[in-house]
A and B are shown apart, each in its own frame.
Chain A
Amino acid sequence: MSLDLFLNQVVPVRQKLFRFAYRLLGNEEDAQDITQDALMKVWSQQEKMPELQNMEAWCMRITRNLALDKIKSRKYRLADELDRAGEVPSAQHSPHTMAEKNDVMVKVRRIIHELPEKYRTIIQLRDMDGYSYQEIADILELDMNDVKVNLHRARKAVREKLQNIQVYGL
Chain B
Amino acid sequence: MDYNHIIALLDRYWEGETTLEEEALLRRFFSESHPDMPEPLQEAAPLFGFFREEMEKEQALEELLPEPKIPVETSPAKVVPLSPFRHWMKYAAVLLMAVGMGYAMKQHQRQEIKVHIAEIQQQKEEEETRMAYLETKKALQLLAKNLNKGTEKMQKLAYFNEATGLITGAN
A82 → chain B closest CB, angstroms: 14
Q: With A and B bound together, what is the CA distance between A18 and B49 in angstroms?
A: 22
* Cβ contact of A14, chosen from B24, B64, B65, cutoff 8 A: B65
Residues 1-40 (chain B) with a chain A CB within 8 angstroms? 13-16, 20, 23-24, 27
Whether A95 sits at the interface, judged by CB under 8 Å, is: no
Total contacts A to B, CB within 8 angstroms? 84
Instruction: Give the distance in Å from the alpha carbon of A112 to the alpha carbon of B35 in the complex.
Output: 26
- Number of A residues near B (Cβ < 8 Å) is 43
Residues of B within 8 A of A118 (CB): none
A130 to B24, CA, bound (A): 8
Number of B positions contacting A (CB below 8 A): 32
Q: Bound state CA distance, A105 and B49, in angstroms?
A: 8
B43 at the interface (CB under 8 A from A): yes
- Chain A contact residues, CB within 8 Å of chain B: 2-3, 6-7, 11, 14-15, 18-19, 22-23, 28, 32, 35-36, 39-40, 43, 87-88, 101, 104-105, 107-109, 112, 126-128, 130, 132, 148, 151-152, 155-156, 158-159, 162-163, 165-166
Extra A-B contacts (4), CB below 8 Å, given A35-B65, A88-B57:
A36-B69, A88-B53, A105-B46, A155-B16
